[in-house]
Structure 1
Amino acid sequence: MLLGGASGVEKVSLSEFFDALPFEPDQFQVEAARSVEKERSVVVTAPTGSGKTLIADAAIHINLERGMRIFYTTPIKALSNQKFGDLAASHGEGRVGLLTGDNVINRDADILVMTTEVFRNMIYSDPDQLEDVGVAVLDEVHYLQDRTRGAVWEEIIIHAPEHIRLIALSATIANPEEFAAWIRERRGKTDLIIEEARPVPLESLYALNDKVNRSTELQPMFGPDGTPNRRITRMLETQGRKTRYRTPRRIDLIEELESHSMLPAIIFIFSRAGCDAAARGVADAGVRFTDVEQRAQIREIVDIRTAHLADEDLGVLDHAGFVTTLEAGVAAHHAGMIPAYKETVEDLFTQGLLKVVFATETLALGINMPARSVVLEQLSKYVGDGHALLQPGDYTQLTGRAGRRGIDDYGYGVVLHTRFVDFIEAASIAAAGTHPLRSSFRPTYNMTANLVANYDRDEAYRLIGASLASFQHHDREDELQSVIDRRSDELEHEWSQATCDRGSILDYLALLDSHEDERSGRVLLDPGDVVDIPDGRRSGRYVVLRLTHRSGKRHPGHLMMSTKGRVTELSRRDLGRSFQVSGRVNLPRPFEPRSRRFAQQVLRSLRKVPAGQGMSSESGRKVDHPVAECPDADDHVQWARRALSTQRRIDQLVKEQQKRGTENLVGMFRSIEKLLTNWGYIEGWSLTAEGERLRSIYSETDLVAAHSLGDGTFVELSAPDLAAVLSTLIYEPRSDQVSPPIFPTAASAAAWESIESIWEDLTATELDARLPLTRRPDPGFAVIAHQWASGYLFDQIDPGPMAAGDIVRVARQLLDVLRQVRDTAPELAPAAAEAVKAIDRDIVAAQGVG
């Protein structure tokens, strides 16, 4: 029996479900459940912790009574694992299943929990298996705006069989009516349920340290009329007292929170290293929130959660330090931690055994960790090329965890005073409200192949036009498009100048950058070096006095003295790329760069150094690469750097274009269709054998992967070599810097050259077609992948700058790709299966249901 698809559907009352609850449900929960009972789709927007999942529980009750299956989707595996455990505990393990790619448990169960991508793949590959599904829950549906994965939610909403009702659960957003109207247009009868009230009221506080009274103060951020607290304004602006207040020390703040019974607290620090250092610092300072019995409980839970890890792995992870910090009742939580450690912290915090957790913003997604207080140490975070203030709605999202329902009368959001963001600006961020939900949808190669396979051309065009992006579409802004076109023309010219017939300029550039990193930015720049800068605003001759280090700067600067005796600090950017070191002088002792006598001695020595052709920062660095022998190598490098900069500017413009809804999605789809036709994946309106393979490859680099499979790039590779090469398709470094192409074997290096050639051909075609450029495959994980697939132990791997949690995460992504290759390329199935078995072990292996 299909839900809503036949007459005589049994009307199941919700009264027994609500009567069994140990509490009175909120009105919005009842209204949403009634909508489900009436066989309508429903969009629910409500604050974090308000009980949206109770609506899903009611839907499960209704549909089980009607003999229908229920799908429950989440954006990440950890949430799927958590929800699987919750539902198995309440409905019995026999009725609940899990599909995440890592795990397949009871896939025919009445209640099936899965990641969103798994549901999308089922819709495309075998929609007949969905006939007995009555309802699909889309938890955390506001994830739809995620740049890389958000389109999956739209694909589900557009393509799911019509008989399936959707329950879309979202955090508060600024445009719920628009979002619900779009779903109503796609799915038919749809109700919008909005709950704006937090289950626990939030009080926003401003924390300052008073240097005069040597105390930390917590002041209300807003007055009774909702405007910024004038008392704080007066405190900070009083004449003669401008430096009286400063940022509170962590220990002082935590003690202040404890004295006001405002723990447990989550303290957001937008840096992994910052979280680790903060947790260690608090524990090392002797702060203890636990007694003997609690510390024993902590150790027991840690032992259970980490029982699968070998002693050697624990040694690499500094397990003893991790446990010591936990025993103090303090922890860090971020994406760089291995899953077992993150889950341990989550378990201990929910059990009340931790009082302070320092976390990055990744904690804001879904994981159930409510606290009494949420602290924001900063109102800005690093965004790739600098720091930016939090966006409107970020404060609301981050403080959504403040206040435990049924425990706390109030939740507290605490912002720390800082000289970098004035109080009025901080208050405006805190009062900014919520984010509007914006579509990130655009056609992909895999999506296009699946549309060709499942629909005729006109229907495919109609479905592309049915996206939320099209629904939010406004008139095209010609000026923005013309800028993109002009920049694209510049980019084409720059790449033509950057191209060298002796080899890959990108590989050469990566080696140059790697060479700079190895020297930590100290290329020929030691104290006493005489430096000639031939051009730029800092042109002239200088002597290096000493290196300088500033917090947040990746490379050191240099304190220098000019030929006029002026002492100034020059950054690497000030030096440029054509500076030369013309000699050395001995610096006087004692080192007193501001004294006249010191300067006179240095200048006398400096005048004795003749002008010469010293080693330059760029040309003097010889690396083992064919491009290095090209007489125009420096010019090629300069053009390549300019092209990369232009590409970043184009990407920013395209993002802005997507924000405004100005992308012509149907036009883009037609361009992709034409490209796939020219590349041999589509013939007429049918898929070729290569097109059928593309249907089953889900990756940002899907077409590069499919083409590599088709041209035999991976044939005869060993399992470790296959793992190393495939890792280039999924690995993304945390910075914009290109990873050097280092491979452990000649076979894997040759395969990489083939992949890179395919990518270069593809991006050239995309550039001509005005399509978004496919992300460059990156070889930065290849050596680690090869070592792990070869049986290395974790303590035998050189991780470089990668955190253990990042290695595990990328390895698990690699497993997904290996399984796709195993299932779509029979000739590679033995090697791919061997690689899966070799990688899915020890610290990388999924534990329990995770």
Structure 2
Amino acid sequence: MAGYGFTFDPFQREACASIDAGHSVLVAAPTGSGKTVVGEYACHVALAEGRRCFYTTPIKALSNQKYHDLVARHGADNVGLLTGDISVNGDAPIVVMTTEVLRNMLYAASHSLDTLSYVVLDEVHYLSDRFRGAVWEEVILGLASSVQIVSLSATVSNAEEFGEWLDTVRGHVDVVVWEQRPVPLQQHVMAGHEIIDLFDGPGGRVNPRLVQLAKGEARRMRDDSRRPRGRSGRGKKTINYGSGRFGGATSRRYAARGSGRNTLTPSRAAVVVGLERAHLLPAIYFVFSRSGCDGAVRQLLNANIRLTSHDEAAELERIAHRHGAGLDAEDRRALGWGPFVEALRRGIAAHHAGLLPAFKAIVEEAFTRGLLKIVFATETLALGINMPARTVVLERLVKYNGQTHADITPGEYTQLTGRAGRRGIDDQGHAVVLWQPGMDPRAVAGLASRRTYPLRSSFTPNYNMAVNLVRSVGRVRARALLEQSFAQFQTDRHVVAHSRRAGAVATEIEQAWAEAACGRGDFVHYARLRDRITALQKEISRARRQEGRAEIAEALARLEPGDVCWLPAGRHDGWVLVVEPARPGSPEPNPLIMTPEHQLARLDVRDVAAPVSAASRVRVPKRFDRHSAADRRALARSFDARLAGLGEGPRTVTRPRVDADLAAQVEQLRAELAAHPCHDCPDREQHARAAERALRLERSLAGGERRAGESRNSIAAQFDRICGVLDALGYLDPEHPDEITRAGAMLARIYSELDLVIAEAIRAGVLADLPVPALAAVLSTLVYEARAGGPSPYRMPDERSEQAQSALRAVWRQVGLVERDERVERARSLDMGFAAPVHMWAQGAGLAQVLDASDMTAGDFVRWTRQVIDLASQVSNAPGVDELGPGGLVVACRGVVSALRRDIVDVDQAGLD
């Protein structure tokens, strides 16, 4: 334990002793407490014993950082790195890797596992991540029982529960919980130019000074300034910017109306100056917005703030030029290199997911060395990157969660403020919350004093997992293995005992049916007929929306000026003339049309009941001006002349067969309903209201019974449904339940949220015979997901990729129909938002050209390009790709990898420079 420069805490000694005793261990401790020492001890023991240790992390940046740390301690010959993108010394006794790489090794039965004795799962609380959390449980369940697992977690409130599960599935797992921060944390609120302690003394009482400020602000503000009332003046029941307890943008807007400029919320420049005067730098300043982080850097530059000495500025510039040596002049222009370095020299930087990896590396090294004084960051910085600071600033306690603005949770607050206080440097860390109008200091105190951070499993089976498990252990054992997951463990422990209430609900149901009784006949049977009709109509409506929207959008996007189309229903039913094609850049295709009444309107997907196509054509002059009355009249005459020979089109809308089947059921039930003796009862609707109440209660009771009944095999039931889809599409062998087909072997090597769609597209030949740029564009639609609220294009970059994308959408729809039949949640839709940039890059365009033509940040471009590379690599390495589909796809995918992996995408590949 020598060479660390500090005395080990009791929890570190206890955890290391567990490893020596041959046990696995779960360590739950605050951020910055030094729990990684325990993981490093496992590496030390492995080396001493001549065995192997894998050190896993959730993200590549953490793997790169940990690789450097372990190389410095054990030497380059003893340490390797595997991240999917990069492979360095993979046969070393200590190998750092992302958790996904280890999962893939387990499924491939890699020989690298033969001599494995220790696995470190750093940041194991990631298993609650809804997108990637399942990987951690797959690894824990899949590792050989002889392997000792060292699980390192942030402080969670249910560590004992997680440890109990680990002990159940692994055996001999010790739980070490440590809640003491290595550096005490002091909480503050900054109001105006004053940094005020949040608590008044050790008793946890809120500082009276803050309470006074809140009361004074309330007196200066009109009632409607403090809580938005809406146009009606009657007030709102909810506030759309979090709970309102922590203030925020809405209340600040109204406060400005009521009392003039708010003087308690400090500007970003004032905050930094205040921190410098109070000797609270270096600091991480959390802003929950990428653009906000970049804007803050510009604001400090404009305010001419300088936080570094001449020597520090020179060293910062040297770090920047060392990491940026691979960028040419054109790249630097596109990336804003000049302002970035100027801000860096002043001790100022931003850090977020949209930053180029090289820029991130500069910021991380500079901050770790104490040269940077203020870093504006999004919450992604709190996810494990080792960048401790003296102070953490939270600009707001409300953030956008992808759907709405919501208060941050106590767990998020703990995670963010965990960066405050550098071990061995600071006697105390500081968390500073900025005042917002309408803020309640007592609510802030409640948030700061709670340490609730429950670990919740997000585990759910998927197609790739299913075929790999069936291949590895057979279907029966795979099902049993999934029943051992943490998700199932938590479900079993938290089943709601609905039976206590079942008797009372049954009595209510009986009373409701008694009220519904009708002297003309069996009203229970009549009510159930009505209920079934309603359910089927909803299903028809839902199916039409899901299956028809993409086809309609595709058809509208193909319409050209002069096309005459028939709309059988909707707002613009009848013949319409396309005047202008869909506008580029709009979220959905919206061609400008002329109606039979000669009105011009934008045609929306919602206005069309079924895909449309041109039945005839009218010449639209190239210089047609829709604002010119004369041009409109001339076009209307041509349109009328064409209509004279067309007549009326069909009023019926062709539906998919499934819709017709459901519609037939509805018609049959309606006939049965009309013939029922209760149908003509004068009190029918009064009886129906009581019956609807009974049905609602029955559904509630049945739902509780179903949940209770399924709780003990819920994960296994999901697995069964997944296997049902795989059986239907030919990925599992129907004659040998414990074997997979050749298609299943291919699917086993494709790790993607849309894995089954990709495999089906390969088998259908959708990706065959495409030029490299077009193939890259189509592959991008399978990995890219636009950020919430961002516009998504509806056209592909060229004709070849557009044709392939149309076929791919058909495959996606067909897979969705099978998923619906098997009651499996449908895969997310395809997204064309990255198709144009990656198409340009594959054609050889430079970074500046690509970024100028899109709204992407450099970091996003590099990250998504690497995701396309990763998918192309998976397809090219999956067995049987050219045998199961038209040949040549393997070579084409390798061409995509070669075309995309160049310049900035390749320079930054591992961050190991």
TM-score, normalization: structure 1?
0.79
Q: Partner residue of 1:234?
A: 212
Query: Any residues of structure 2 matched to 1:13-412 within 5 Å, and which?
Result: 18-209=1-192, 215-221=193-199, 223-238=201-216, 240=219, 246-412=264-430
Q: Partner residue of 1:627?
A: 612
State the distance in 1 between where 2:550 and 2:5 align: 70
State the distance in 2 between where 1:158 and 1:70 align: 18
State the distance in 2 between where 1:487 and 1:201 align: 60
State the distance in 1 between where 2:456 and 2:765 align: 40
User: Equivalent residue of 1:845, what SS?
Assistant: helix
Residues 486, 793 of structure 1: alpha-carbon distance in 2 compared, 3 angstrom cutoff: farther
**CA offsets 1:609-651 (integer angstroms, 9 cap, x no match):** xxx986556569999x963879999x99xxxxxxxxxxxxxxx
Deviates more, 1:710-719 or 1:357-366: 710-719
Q: Does the 8 A contact of 2:552 with 2:605 survive in 1?
A: no
1:674 partner letter: G
1:806 partner letter: D
User: Equivalent residue of 2:443, what SS?
Assistant: helix
State the distance in 2 between where 1:380 and 1:511 align: 43
Q: Does the 8 A contact of 1:742 with 1:783 survive in 2?
A: no
Deviation for aligned residue 1:501: 7.7
- Percent of paired sites with the same residue: 43
Deviation for aligned residue 1:844: 1.0
Residues 262, 845 of structure 1: alpha-carbon distance in 2 compared, 3 angstrom cutoff: same
User: Equivalent residue of 1:729, what SS?
Assistant: helix
Deviation for aligned residue 1:82: 0.9
**CA offsets 1:642-679 (integer angstroms, 9 cap, x no match):** xxxxxxxxxxx9xxx99x98981111110111110110
Deviates more, 1:614-623 or 1:58-67: 614-623
State the distance in 2 between where 1:753 and 1:849 align: 35
State the distance in 2 between where 1:191 and 1:284 align: 54
State the distance in 2 between where 1:342 and 1:800 align: 22
Residues 662, 418 of structure 1: alpha-carbon distance in 2 compared, 3 angstrom cutoff: farther
State the distance in 2 between where 1:499 and 1:31 align: 55
State the distance in 2 between where 1:385 and 1:629 align: 39
State the distance in 1 between where 2:282 and 2:481 align: 48
Q: Does the 8 A contact of 1:204 with 1:222 survive in 2?
A: no
Question: What are structure 2's unaligned runs of at least 5 residues?
Answer: 222-258, 502-531, 560-570, 572-584, 616-648, 655-702, 883-887
Query: Any residues of structure 2 matched to 1:681-696 within 5 Å, and which?
Result: 681-684=731-734, 685=737, 686-696=739-749
Residues 622, 845 of structure 1: alpha-carbon distance in 2 compared, 3 angstrom cutoff: farther
2:831 partner letter: D
Q: Does the 8 A contact of 2:57 with 2:97 survive in 1?
A: yes
State the distance in 2 between where 1:620 and 1:779 align: 17
Deviates more, 1:455-464 or 1:674-683: 455-464
State the distance in 2 between where 1:682 and 1:497 align: 30
Deviation for aligned residue 1:438: 0.3
Q: Does the 8 A contact of 2:774 with 2:800 survive in 1?
A: yes
State the distance in 2 between where 1:325 and 1:94 align: 38
Q: Does the 8 A contact of 2:549 with 2:605 survive in 1?
A: no
1:439 partner letter: S
**CA offsets 1:266-308 (integer angstroms, 9 cap, x no match):** 1100000000000110122011011222221111110111111
Q: Does the 8 A contact of 1:73 with 1:115 survive in 2?
A: yes
**CA offsets 1:94-128 (integer angstroms, 9 cap, x no match):** 11111111111111101011110000000110254
TM-score, normalization: structure 2?
0.73
Q: Partner residue of 1:670?
A: 720
Q: Partner residue of 1:592?
A: none
Residues 233, 849 of structure 1: alpha-carbon distance in 2 compared, 3 angstrom cutoff: same
Deviation for aligned residue 1:819: 0.7
Residues 505, 661 of structure 1: alpha-carbon distance in 2 compared, 3 angstrom cutoff: farther
State the distance in 1 between where 2:38 and 2:650 align: 66
State the distance in 1 between where 2:496 and 2:203 align: 42
User: Equivalent residue of 2:834, what SS?
Assistant: helix
User: Equivalent residue of 1:147, what SS?
Assistant: coil
Q: Does the 8 A contact of 2:553 with 2:605 survive in 1?
A: no
User: Equivalent residue of 1:72, what SS?
Assistant: strand
Verify: 1:704 aligned to 2:757, yes or no. Answer: yes
1:344 partner letter: I
Question: What are structure 1's unaligned runs of at least 5 residues?
Answer: 1-17, 210-214, 480-484, 513-533, 535-553, 556-576, 583-611, 637-652
2:877 partner letter: D
Residues 496, 366 of structure 1: alpha-carbon distance in 2 compared, 3 angstrom cutoff: closer
Q: How many residues of Structure 1 are paired with residues of Structure 2 in the alignment? A: 716
User: Equivalent residue of 2:436, what SS?
Assistant: coil
Selected match of 1:460 from 472, 478, 484? 478
Residues 784, 103 of structure 1: alpha-carbon distance in 2 compared, 3 angstrom cutoff: same
State the distance in 1 between where 2:534 and 2:277 align: 58
Q: Does the 8 A contact of 1:180 with 1:190 survive in 2?
A: yes
Deviation for aligned residue 1:495: 3.8
Deviation for aligned residue 1:392: 2.5
Residues 220, 581 of structure 1: alpha-carbon distance in 2 compared, 3 angstrom cutoff: farther
2:858 partner letter: A
Q: Does the 8 A contact of 1:329 with 1:355 survive in 2?
A: yes
State the distance in 1 between where 2:279 and 2:613 align: 64
Selected match of 2:810 from 749, 757, 768? 757
User: Equivalent residue of 1:504, what SS?
Assistant: helix
State the distance in 2 between where 1:486 and 1:471 align: 39
Q: Partner residue of 2:899?
A: 838
2:342 partner letter: T
State the distance in 2 between where 1:761 and 1:380 align: 41
2:612 partner letter: V
Verify: 1:433 aligned to 2:451, yes or no. Answer: yes
Q: Does the 8 A contact of 2:214 with 2:440 survive in 1?
A: no
State the distance in 2 between where 1:216 and 1:57 align: 42
Q: Does the 8 A contact of 2:547 with 2:813 survive in 1?
A: no
Deviates more, 1:448-457 or 1:731-740: 731-740
Verify: 1:475 aligned to 2:502, yes or no. Answer: no
State the distance in 2 between where 1:270 and 1:581 align: 45
State the distance in 2 between where 1:620 and 1:681 align: 36
Residues 497, 833 of structure 1: alpha-carbon distance in 2 compared, 3 angstrom cutoff: closer
Selected match of 1:792 from 834, 838, 845? 845
Give the structure with the larger helix fraction: 2
Residues 36, 510 of structure 1: alpha-carbon distance in 2 compared, 3 angstrom cutoff: farther
Deviation for aligned residue 1:206: 0.9
Q: Does the 8 A contact of 1:207 with 1:248 survive in 2?
A: yes
Selected match of 2:867 from 813, 819, 822? 813
Deviates more, 1:662-671 or 1:306-315: 662-671
User: Equivalent residue of 1:664, what SS?
Assistant: helix
State the distance in 2 between where 1:110 and 1:737 align: 46
Residues 420, 235 of structure 1: alpha-carbon distance in 2 compared, 3 angstrom cutoff: closer
RMSD: 3.5
Q: Partner residue of 1:504?
A: 551
Selected match of 2:794 from 741, 748, 769? 741
Q: Does the 8 A contact of 2:837 with 2:854 survive in 1?
A: no
